[in-house]
Amino acid sequence: MIPASFDYSRPSSLEEALAVLGDAGEEAKVLAGGQSLLPLLRLRLAYPTTLIDIGRVAELRGIADHGDHVFIGAMTTHHEVVRSPVVNEHCPLVALATATVADRAVRHRGTFGGSLAHADPAGDLPSVALALDMDLVVRSSSGERVIPAADFFVDYLEPALEPGEILVGARVPKLGPGWGFHYEKFHRTAQAWATVGVAAAVRRSNGTVAEARIALTNMGPTPIRAVAVEAAVRGAAADRNGALREAAEQAAEGTDPPGDLHARPDYRAHLSRVLTHRALLAACAV
Amino acid sequence: MTETDTAPAGTMGEVGRARRRKEDARLVTGRTQWTDNIQLPGMLHVAFLRSPLAHARITRVDVSAARGRPGVVAVFSGRDFAAEQGSLPCAWPVTEDIVIPDHPPMAVDEVRYVGEAVACVIATDRYRAADALDAIEIDYEPLDPVLDMTEALTEGSATVHEVGNRAFTWKFAQGDVEGAFRDAPVVIDRTFVQQRLIPSAMEPRAVVAQTDGDGFTLHSATQIPHILRVMLALTTGIPEHKLRVIAPDVGGGFGSKLQVTAEEVLCLLITRRLGRPVKWTESRSEGNLTVHHGRDQLQRISVAAESDGRIRGVKVDLLADMGAYLMLVTPGVPLLGAFMYGGIYKMDAYDFTCTGVFTTKMPTDAYRGAGRPEATFAIERAMDELAAELGLDPMEVRRRNWIRHAEFPYTTICGLTYDSGNYEAATDRALALFGYDELRAEQADRRNRRDPVQLGIGISTYTEMCGLAPSRVLGSLSYGAGGWEHAEVRMLPTGKVEVVTGSSPHGQGHVTAWSQIVADALGVPFEDVSVLHGDTASSHKGMDTYGSRSLSVGGIALVQACEKVREKARQVAAHMMEASPDDVEFTDGRFRVRGTTTERTIQEIALATFAAHDLPEGFEPRLDAQATFDPDNFSFPHGTHLCAVEVDTETGATTIRSYVAVDDVGKVVNPLIVEGQVHGGIAQGIAQALFEEVVYDADGNLLTTTMADYLLPSATDLPVFVTDRTETPATSNPLGVKGVGEAGTIASTPAVVNAIVDALRPYGVRDVRMPCTPERVWRALHDRAPSAEEGASV
């Protein structure tokens, strides 16, 4: 638990951070809340040459209502997200999922953007970003670009960030009235990562499911949209009479669940079906 | 709920009060001295290179590149210490023909588990020491790992040591076992797996060694400074009187710090070699690899019973995984359970066999309960299986077999004499608090409705033997030391009291409990007592802390030392008041001439003794005394634990809905401390039932090196415990106390697993292997063994 040596830089503005990052080369890492990166350093699983600590970059922190979407700054802590009236009113799925992240201590240090940029498929926020079709805003010294969540999670721990880019935040679309949300997380202890998680947003109309967006946590190297379920559930009766369960049976389709000490792949596939059903029921409030 | 800092109605004494712990203000405000906090001038830092292979011959070692790294002062491999490092001690040769392999603190020619130290770097700081490990070159010639106990004992198996994989076979039998099983109407025959566990103390192990050129001082996060001093002297050749061992503040142990570790020996050797102080503090991952592990037994238990459920006899056949070497008490741990497989039940025949097996894994040794949790688990699980077989309520089967209150003292089939107990009272109280009948009704309802969430009820009516231990018993079991404890009580000139205890606390609250005992015995204020411990220079004699022994052994030594001080004070008081000592009464700290108002306080006598101007003829001017107490018997706490679980049959997840523990630990000195021990104990037992498991892969690599893989429950994962006590005083000691440090852990594991199996019995499930993870429960329910592709046995 003793990290190898590295250079450390703590810029106070985004401009300065981007300049340092541009100069530091490909082996530099951006340090946000440190809840994922520091353990990797201490286990000597990561050997960055430079750590760029953006903890003092105030402009990356905060939540703003932009009419059709909510902008959540990358350095906003999980705790701030969970407590935000704007997030709770307009994108409750983000608040629901964030409230399940680890424990209070982690939620006070860990950040919204750090969790997305780490791109851990076992993290809770990547699948939420995917389910809600968030737009992720990244900046480099040459300017800004916007990456749809569907393109952001490239592979295991691999976001679509180019060298020199920093994630500055996400635009979370407001889904408007008629939508229900749920994040169903299954984990062995309160502080453990999700064995499997299901982020669900469902729009109901006349007692049936008009539209559903479902994304799975820890069912492959990236978060995965359960497209088969989304298709199967369209038009299904939003009740407990079996249509939702039947749709949820498609949950593991197209996934590549990992096997580890907490769950083997077939059990994860099973869980994804059970949890998707439960997420649909809860999102439909039935 | 325990109300704090208030005297129970009708009593005046300190003993029995829920005093807040004296230790805590200092501990929670960080004014502590952990070993890792110690900074000495010129101190160097040690990092160990550890074997990446489970079993291999070391063919080449080259440390030269590492020597050139920045900040590096020295690099040593096992070859550098081969002539002086000796062998780590095993103090418990359980049989005459036991195989005790040589156990070099640092491997020289062969490594036998992943994590075994093979080299070390000594550098000016911890980071540079760790960095330089990368530059050490070691070539290995891989040998076959030995990972499965059953396979290890088969002909042709690879061997851990040349002599073979069987360390010992130990047998015990009483009564006509064959007769008991012959034609028995019911026989229950089960095999249970006691998984391997890591005793996860909050404070990692840490060592600081220093020398002044003449003697040596070793600070260590240890439970056993006294035993450690003796053992290190024998191992390193440093004369005992030239070695001082200090256990400063120690943050938990659970048995893991009841050890003589390679790192302690090596730090002494390094400081002897370099003449400079050195420090080593383990990382959590290093600890998971190399803190001795606990449990790891394969238990076959057979119970023969009459058709009404009365037990005829019990047979137990154990395989106990020793790991690669025998450490301090490794072979003795399963035998501490040998006497507990009868539990609280009467029977006429008992047969026990235990074979210790070497594997290429970290050695096992004591972990909270040490042998007794395993035994209690097996018999309590078997009692539930017997009840199911007979269609009886599991509590009724227990009632038909347990020792009745009127039958105490009772000598069990295992040869122990239980001095006291009242299983009826504890059980009745627990059933009432639990709402047993209502829960059974709800269970029936859920079963009828085929509710996907099933309810299960688990029972554990346990006892255990603790308060280790009568020295003669330890001798008869070939243990290498006695089981006494020592205390010294010193009245200071100003009337304050200094206690020296040989029982070395690492979180138990000795300072508070000892202050309460002394306050009553000498009639001094609780605040006027201080307690010294954990330093062989100030506390010269002790057997340290493990086996729930502090109060029932060390506490009695303290009482006896107080009595000696009081009698000395009585002599002085009588002399001062010109009365006969026989006419002097002692109450609440005052000596009074019977029938008069003439009195002296104990504080006045302390001052008079210090001045020594006018003492009785021949009286030594000192108001202090020592006592060493060797118990006649173990102490036998008992109780009834009841657990209700909800098992989600769709996911396999278990949720503990309610947990009731009614324990009988005899007289209670401090209810708050007892409750803390019970809570922590239950949590640790639940952790074995549901969460914790050491996993080695097929090559012998440890997979559970971090807390992301080795799951410890936190408060969030545990229910609110409902705790209560009955109080049946022990008759084997003058305080009437019994041990409580391990009881919760011993009781709770079978209660939880019995509850899970109870929930699933309608589905044909008869057992779930621990830890009962959601996946294991799901597979048990769906009879769904994983395919080869999906991995090895669940």
A1 to chain B, any CB pair closer than 8 A? The answer is yes
Q: Dump pLDDT digits (tens) for B749-766.
A: 999 999 999 999 999 999
Q: Dump pLDDT digits (tens) for A133-155.
A: 999 999 999 999 999 999 999 99
List the structure tokens of B743.
């009881």
Q: Is the pLDDT of residue B3 over 70?
A: no
Based on the fold, state whether residues A208 and A278 are members of the same structural domain: yes
Please compute the mean of the pLDDT values over residues A69-80 and round it to a whole number: 98
Measured CA distances, B727 to B462, B477, B639, B664, B746 (Å): 15, 31, 10, 5, 19
Based on the fold, state whether residues A189 and A168 are members of the same structural domain: no
Please compute the mean of the pLDDT values over residues B250-266 and round it to a whole number: 97
CB atoms within 10 A of CB B80: 20
Please report residues of B whose CB lies closer than 8 A to that of A240: none
Based on the fold, state whether residues A48 and A89 are members of the same structural domain: no
Q: Which of A:184-203 have CB within 8 Å of B?
A: 186, 188-193, 195
Q: Given this model, what pLDDT does residue A274 score?
A: 98
Query: Which residue range is the domain that position A65 belongs to?
Result: 61-172
Q: Using CB atoms, which residue from B714, B717, B775 is nearest to A264?
A: B775
Please report residues of B whose CB lies closer than 8 A to that of A275: 651
Please report residues of A whose CB lies closer than 8 A to that of B286: 1
Distance of CA B215 to the CA centre of its chain: 32
CA gap B528, B200 in Å, rounded: 35
Q: Given this model, what pLDDT does residue B7 score?
A: 46
Q: Is the pLDDT of residue B6 over 90?
A: no
* Contact in structure between A159 and A170 (CB atoms under 8 Å): no
Report yes or no on A158 lying in a domain.
yes
Chain B residue at shortest CA distance from A3: B127
Based on the fold, state whether residues A48 and A65 are members of the same structural domain: no
Q: Say whether A186 and B650 touch across the interface (CB within 8 A).
A: no
Q: Give the residue carrying structure tokens 């009286």.
A: B619
CA gap B469, B611 in Å, rounded: 41
Based on the fold, state whether residues A142 and A184 are members of the same structural domain: no
Q: Using CB atoms, which residue from B651, B691, B787 is nearest to A189?
A: B691
Based on the fold, state whether residues A147 and A238 are members of the same structural domain: no
> Of B384, B367, B347, which is closest to residue B460 (Cα–Cα)?
B384
List the structure tokens of B610.
């210090």
B650 to chain A, any CB pair closer than 8 A? The answer is yes
* Contact in structure between B500 and B494 (CB atoms under 8 Å): no
Fold of the domain spanning B35-143+202-252+257-290: Aldehyde Oxidoreductase; domain 3 (3.90.1170)
Domain end, chosen from A172, A200, A227, is at A172
Position B40, amino acid: L
Q: How confident is the model at residue B126 (pLDDT cuts 50, 70, 90)?
A: very high
The phi and psi torsions of B774 (rounded to 5 degrees) equal -55, -40
Beta-carbon contacts of residue B153 (< 8 Å; ≥ 6 apart): B165, B166, B319, B355, B357
Based on the fold, state whether residues A103 and A119 are members of the same structural domain: yes
Domain end, chosen from A149, A172, A195, is at A172
Based on the fold, state whether residues A104 and A196 are members of the same structural domain: no
CATH number at residue A210: 3.30.390.50
Based on the fold, state whether residues A273 and A190 are members of the same structural domain: yes
Q: Is the pLDDT of residue B786 over 70?
A: no
> Of B171, B538, B191, B152, which is closest to residue B324 (Cα–Cα)?
B152
Q: Say whether A191 and B284 touch across the interface (CB within 8 A).
A: no
Q: Say whether A2 and B130 touch across the interface (CB within 8 A).
A: yes
Please compute the mean of the pLDDT values over residues B287-315 and round it to a whole number: 98
CATH number at residue A25: 3.30.43.10
Q: Is the pLDDT of residue B334 over 60?
A: yes
Q: Is the pLDDT of residue B793 over 50?
A: no
CB atoms within 10 A of CB B288: 23
CA gap A144, B275 in Å, rounded: 60
Chain B residue at shortest CA distance from A196: B651
Tell me how close the Cα of B406 comes to any Cα of chain A, in angstroms.
Answer: 45
Chain B residue at shortest CA distance from A40: B706
Q: Say whether A190 and B778 touch across the interface (CB within 8 A).
A: no
Q: Dump pLDDT digits (tens) for B489-536.
A: 999 999 999 999 999 899 999 999 999 999 999 999 999 999 999 999
Q: What is the β-pairing status of strands A224-225 and B110-111?
A: unpaired
Please report residues of A whose CB lies closer than 8 A to that of B131: 4-5
Q: What is the DSSP letter of B552?
A: I
Please compute the mean of the pLDDT values over residues B216-241 and round it to a whole number: 97
B783 to chain A, any CB pair closer than 8 A? The answer is no
List the structure tokens of A91.
């994108």
CB atoms within 10 A of CB B189: 13
Q: Given this model, what pLDDT does residue B1 score?
A: 42
Q: How confident is the model at residue B784 (pLDDT cuts 50, 70, 90)?
A: low
Report yes or no on A2 lying in a domain.
no
Q: How confident is the model at residue A26 (pLDDT cuts 50, 70, 90)?
A: confident
Q: Give the residue carrying structure tokens 């005394």.
A: B625
Beta-carbon contacts of residue B347 (< 8 Å; ≥ 6 apart): B175, B180, B311, B312, B313, B314, B401, B413
* Contact in structure between B728 and B425 (CB atoms under 8 Å): yes
Domain end, chosen from A172, A204, A226, is at A172
CA count, 13 A, side-chain hemisphere, B524: 27
Q: Dump pLDDT digits (tens) for B426-477.
A: 999 999 999 999 999 999 999 999 999 999 999 999 999 999 999 999 999 9
CA gap B10, B134 in Å, rounded: 67
Q: What is the Rg, in whole angstroms, of the alpha carbon atoms belonging to chain B?
A: 28
Based on the fold, state whether residues A153 and A186 are members of the same structural domain: no
Class of domain B294-468+633-783: alpha beta
Q: Given this model, what pLDDT does residue B208 score?
A: 98
Q: Which of B285, B710, B775 to mutate to test the interface with A (most CBs of A within 10 A)?
A: B775
Q: Is the pLDDT of residue B5 over 60?
A: no
Q: Given this model, what pLDDT does residue B11 score?
A: 47
Average pLDDT, chain B: 96
Q: Dump pLDDT digits (tens) for B571-606.
A: 999 999 999 999 999 999 999 999 999 999 999 999
A166's torsion region: left (phi>0), alpha (psi -120 to 50) or beta?
A: beta
Domain range annotation of chain B: 24-32+484-629, 35-143+202-252+257-290, 294-468+633-783
Q: Is the pLDDT of residue B9 over 50?
A: no
Beta-carbon contacts of residue A81 (< 8 Å; ≥ 6 apart): A63, A72, A87, A94, A95, A98, A112
> Of B94, B139, B89, B97, which is closest to residue B363 (Cα–Cα)?
B89
Using CA of residue B216, residue B222, residue B227, residue B228, what is the dihedral sign? negative
Q: Say whether B714 and A189 touch across the interface (CB within 8 A).
A: yes
Q: Given this model, what pLDDT does residue B130 score?
A: 96
Q: Using CB atoms, which residue from A5, A264, A271 is nearest to B790?
A: A264
Q: Say whether A264 and B285 touch across the interface (CB within 8 A).
A: no
Q: What is the DSSP letter of B555?
A: I
The phi and psi torsions of A38 (rounded to 5 degrees) equal -60, -45
The pLDDT > 70 percentage for chain B reads 97
Q: Say whether A190 and B131 touch across the interface (CB within 8 A).
A: no
Q: Using CB atoms, which residue from B283, B703, B704 is nearest to A1?
A: B283
Please report residues of A whose CB lies closer than 8 A to that of B654: none
Q: Dump pLDDT digits (tens) for B646-677.
A: 999 999 999 999 999 999 999 999 999 999 99
Q: Using CB atoms, which residue from B651, B716, B779 is nearest to A271?
A: B651
Q: How confident is the model at residue B783 (pLDDT cuts 50, 70, 90)?
A: confident
Q: Is the pLDDT of residue B792 over 50?
A: no
Please report residues of B whose CB lies closer than 8 A to that of A274: 650-651
Q: Given this model, what pLDDT does residue A176 score?
A: 84
Angle between helices B423-434 and B436-449 (to 10 degrees): 50
Q: Given this model, what pLDDT does residue B789 score?
A: 47
Q: Which of B:512-531 have CB within 8 Å of A?
A: none
CB atoms within 10 A of CB B239: 10
Report yes or no on A1 lying in a domain.
no
Based on the fold, state whether residues A206 and A165 are members of the same structural domain: no
Based on the fold, state whether residues A183 and A267 are members of the same structural domain: yes
Please compute the mean of the pLDDT values over residues B377-394 and round it to a whole number: 98
Q: How many structural domains compose chain A?
A: 3
Same fold, B24-32+484-629 and B294-468+633-783: yes
Class of domain B24-32+484-629: alpha beta
Please report residues of A whose CB lies closer than 8 A to that of B127: 2-3, 5
B283 to chain A, any CB pair closer than 8 A? The answer is yes
Contacts 24+ apart (CB under 8 A), B579-588: B586/B523, B587/B523, B588/B12, B588/B523
Q: Is the pLDDT of residue B339 over 60?
A: yes
B774 to chain A, any CB pair closer than 8 A? The answer is yes
